[in-house]
Amino acid sequence: MRGSMPEIGFRFYGDLGEPVASVDVADLKSVWDMYQDIASQHPGGGVGVDSSLIERVCSPRADIRAVVYRCQMLSLLEMLPGDLLATWKQSGQLQEAVLRVAARIPMNWMGEGLSHSLPFDVDAFFEEVRKESP
């Protein structure tokens, strides 16, 4: 499903320019699926998601901020003109390769202001996804 992700009930940013921790792909998939489900039920957006809901779908030691941030980076790729993730969707679901790469690709924390580039190497991201795709 395409659209903006629901807002979350806590500040997810880290220190500007610092690396974002890698996350477990199962946690990333759980949160991504939860956001997709919420977005499908509320196509107009404007839905807030409390951090406790996110914690419930993740493993006990998950870095919730990193998981949410990485999901939001996927959402940005989806919202860019042409939906850059469209090639790797089957029946609206992201292929596992996209989630595996998104869980580990090096990225940095962005600030709260606007930025003209994403905080990770998009070309390297898609190169890794192509390598891992069936």
- Mean confidence (pLDDT) of the chain: 86
Supply the DSSP string of 15-51, one letter for each residue.
Answer: STTPBPPP--HHHHHHHHHHHHHHHHH-TT---EE-H
Q: What is the residue type of 25? A: V
Q: Which residues contact 10 (CB under 8 A, 6 or more apart)?
A: 51, 65
Q: How far apart are CA 31 and CA 26, in angstroms?
A: 9
> Which tokens in the block code for residue 110?
């962005």
Beta bridge mates, 93:
90
pLDDT digits 0-9 by tens, 42-86: 877 777 888 889 999 999 999 999 999 999 999 999 988 888 999
pLDDT digits 0-9 by tens, 21-41: 999 999 999 999 999 898 888
CA–CA distances in Å: residue 28 to residues 5, 24, 43, 51:
14, 6, 22, 14
> Which tokens in the block code for residue 62?
């998950």
Q: Which of 22, 6, 20, 15 is nearest to 112 (CA)?
A: 15
Q: Please tell me what DSSP assigns to residue 87.
A: G
Q: How far apart are CA 116 and CA 53, in angstroms?
A: 31
Provide the whole-model pTM: 0.85
pLDDT score for 5 = 53
